[in-house]
Chain A
């Protein structure tokens, strides 16, 4: 189900917790599975649960509770735009609208070529860099004015 490299990463996470607390590694394991497969299928969640010796429903509860897990396929790039108040004051909402127009899609939609999924995100903890957005849960993009957004879109191929 997962590559040996992913399993090695999961094993490193498991080692952080007391031997009888393998379940503590579930958040990291699900993130690693999602990173490898692009999203979390039921099969992937069940696999992670089995690997950690927990009930599948318990792993599913975690996957469905935290909003950076994707339980449906997303585009090659997931762009999450923060529109919370500090970002909104300095253009976060405008940045989201600009992206919608440029990509021809709304929030929670994917471009027809499967390249980009647009999401409205909650506070990312970088309000001093507003407006901010995150690509694929990993890359924080700061001070996203129209010029910066154009540059980012040109890069995402």
Chain B
């Protein structure tokens, strides 16, 4: 089973069976109808962009930027090659939805990219796929071959005169390539170091040409928007938060996995769908949008609905929809230590505040966790994050800082206990029992 649970789903409908990813199956469940209708009825580019605008589809990769607006930034009539690029470099800890979309419904991404290319006058596209999910990359290449053979990609698509070709490109282990300009550098065969903006990719993107980059789930949603109509898609979610969304639930739940629910669904419902907390324990906190999003304590989280606005109101971000659930066996200092190590490892080294600052963040949290914290360390961490945020080319520095600030804000007593008592507030054997490594059955 591809998706573990759903309420009024779109993307995950009909994905049972081993061949759901194949072209024939996709066509059987209504695939490529949207692209065919646009090309055969010679619908104008503006029509497509308007439907996407009306749907209030917001970027599913993390930033939540309105997709239709992004598409309207492309200089459609600008002569020469233009590109659409799909960001499947899914490396934000907690996120694993794009992997399942590409594994079970890859043609929805291909159709969405073809429609996007038509709307923006692009001739060529690339899908940049996380290097660690190799089988997904190979499957996507096969899906592209199927689409090309059936005339949905390539020259003169469905006899319409519209040309668009698409290729897979794999990453090889660099979180930073999920940042869209680092991703472009990477496709160009360079180190993945983000570019200074402006100019934005819509004017200077891949190979210096106008380019639009969207997340996998964003592209995959496009055929459903065209088929349903933008307004109906919006109604499937809630105001300002159109449609359904995939949520990747991980951590201390009984049924970790992907769930498709309308935006605006209560967190409590999602938690229940995921089988609740393991062992009947209590929720301690939740990172609602991937590791870069600020942590939200249990009580506030239980009041949230899963949409961009509600999570923002709770002081965090919906991000990629990666819901990391932590129960009362979690040592928050250890959790933060591991996240800080991640950002320190993955800083590309281009900007001094991030390169040096992420190293400091990790070293200081590490020494607190290991009983060598100093009384002024929490102030030091606040000062370091303040010197990183807003002073770097890309958002990785902010992404490294927000967990530090939010963990200390909400669990300050636990950090203080660590510094004073030189040990975890949650006993180590309780933490180990919580992980279930030696007791869990598959």
Q: How far is the CA of A21 from the CA of B291 in the complex (A)?
A: 35
Q: How far is the CA of A15 from the CA of B276 in the complex (A)?
A: 49
B126, B167, B250, most chain A CB atoms within 10 A: B250
Per the CB 8 Å criterion, the residue count for chain A at the interface is 55
B172 surroundings in chain A (CB, below 8 A): 27, 30-31, 66-69, 137
Closest to B129 in A: A125
B92, B256, B441, B442: the one within 8 Å of A128 (CB):
B256
B257 touches A94 (CB 8 A): no
B90 touches A26 (CB 8 A): no
Q: How far is the CA of A65 from the CA of B168 in the complex (A)?
A: 21
Q: How far is the CA of A53 from the CA of B432 in the complex (A)?
A: 52
A126 surroundings in chain B (CB, below 8 A): 96, 99, 132-133
Confirm or deny: A111 has a beta carbon within 8 angstroms of a beta carbon on chain B.
no
Closest to A18 in B: B207
A27, A125, A138: the one within 8 Å of B186 (CB):
A27
A127 touches B94 (CB 8 A): yes
B132, B174, B291, B441, most chain A CB atoms within 10 A: B132
A69, A123, A143: the one within 8 Å of B175 (CB):
A123
Per the CB 8 Å criterion, the residue count for chain B at the interface is 66
B93 touches A137 (CB 8 A): no
B171 touches A66 (CB 8 A): yes
Q: How far is the CA of A148 from the CA of B440 in the complex (A)?
A: 12
Closest to A31 in B: B172
B322 surroundings in chain A (CB, below 8 A): 86, 127
Q: B322-354 vs A: 1/0 string, CB under 8 Å?
A: 101110001000110011001001101000000
A65, A69, A88, A125, most chain B CB atoms within 10 A: A125
A127 touches B248 (CB 8 A): yes
Q: B144 → chain A, closest Cβ, in Å?
A: 10
Q: B436 → chain A, closest Cβ, in Å?
A: 6
Q: B150 → chain A, closest Cβ, in Å?
A: 20
Closest to A27 in B: B172
Stretch at the interface among B188-196, B227-235, B304-312, B413-421: B188-196
Closest to A148 in B: B442
Closest to A143 in B: B442
Confirm or deny: B366 has a beta carbon within 8 angstroms of a beta carbon on chain A.
no
Evaluate whether A27 and B250 lie within 8 angstroms (CB atoms) in the complex, with A94-B432, A138-B134 already known: no
Evaluate whether A85 and B93 lie within 8 angstroms (CB atoms) in the complex, with A23-B188, A24-B189 already known: yes
Instruction: Please report which residues of chain B, range 242-260, place their CB below 8 angstroms from some CB of chain A when the two chains form the complex.
Output: 248-252, 256-258
Evaluate whether A84 and B133 lie within 8 angstroms (CB atoms) in the complex, with A61-B191, A94-B435, A122-B91 already known: no
Instruction: Please report which residues of chain A, range 20-56, place their CB below 8 angstroms from some CB of chain B when the two chains form the complex.
Output: 21, 23-28, 30-31, 52, 54
B252 touches A90 (CB 8 A): yes
A125 surroundings in chain B (CB, below 8 A): 90-91, 95-96, 98-99, 130, 132-133
Closest to B339 in A: A85
Confirm or deny: A62 has a beta carbon within 8 angstroms of a beta carbon on chain B.
yes
Evaluate whether A134 and B324 lie within 8 angstroms (CB atoms) in the complex, with A83-B338, A95-B437, A123-B92 already known: no
Confirm or deny: A7 has a beta carbon within 8 angstroms of a beta carbon on chain B.
no
Confirm or deny: B48 has a beta carbon within 8 angstroms of a beta carbon on chain A.
no
A85 touches B435 (CB 8 A): no
Q: How far is the CA of A124 from the CA of B135 in the complex (A)?
A: 13
A67 surroundings in chain B (CB, below 8 A): 172-174
B250 touches A127 (CB 8 A): yes
Q: How far is the CA of A75 from the CA of B423 in the complex (A)?
A: 37
A127 touches B256 (CB 8 A): yes
Q: A27 → chain B, closest Cβ, in Å?
A: 6
Instruction: Please report which residues of chain A, range 64-99, place their CB below 8 angstroms from some CB of chain B when the two chains form the complex.
Output: 65-69, 83-86, 88-91, 93-95, 98
B93, B326, B348, most chain A CB atoms within 10 A: B93
Confirm or deny: B355 has a beta carbon within 8 angstroms of a beta carbon on chain A.
no
A28, A83, A86: the one within 8 Å of B251 (CB):
A86
A66 touches B188 (CB 8 A): no
Q: B166 → chain A, closest Cβ, in Å?
A: 10
Instruction: Please report which residues of chain A, range 115-157, place their CB below 8 angstroms from some CB of chain B when the two chains form the complex.
Output: 121-131, 134, 137-140, 143, 145-148
A61 surroundings in chain B (CB, below 8 A): 190-191
- 8 closest A-B pairs by beta carbon, nearest first, are A91-B437, A23-B189, A68-B173, A94-B437, A86-B250, A67-B173, A127-B250, A66-B172
Interface residues of B (CB under 8 A from A): 81, 90-96, 98-99, 126, 130-135, 167-175, 186-192, 207, 248-252, 256-258, 287, 291, 322, 324-326, 330, 334-335, 338-339, 342, 345-346, 348, 432, 434-438, 440-442
23 contacts between A and B (CB under 8 A): A24-B187, A28-B169, A85-B93, A85-B94, A85-B342, A86-B324, A89-B324, A89-B326, A90-B256, A90-B440, A93-B435, A121-B132, A122-B342, A123-B93, A125-B96, A126-B96, A127-B324, A128-B248, A128-B249, A129-B96, A138-B135, A139-B134, A146-B438
Interface residues of A (CB under 8 A from B): 16-18, 21, 23-28, 30-31, 52, 54, 58, 61-62, 65-69, 83-86, 88-91, 93-95, 98, 121-131, 134, 137-140, 143, 145-148
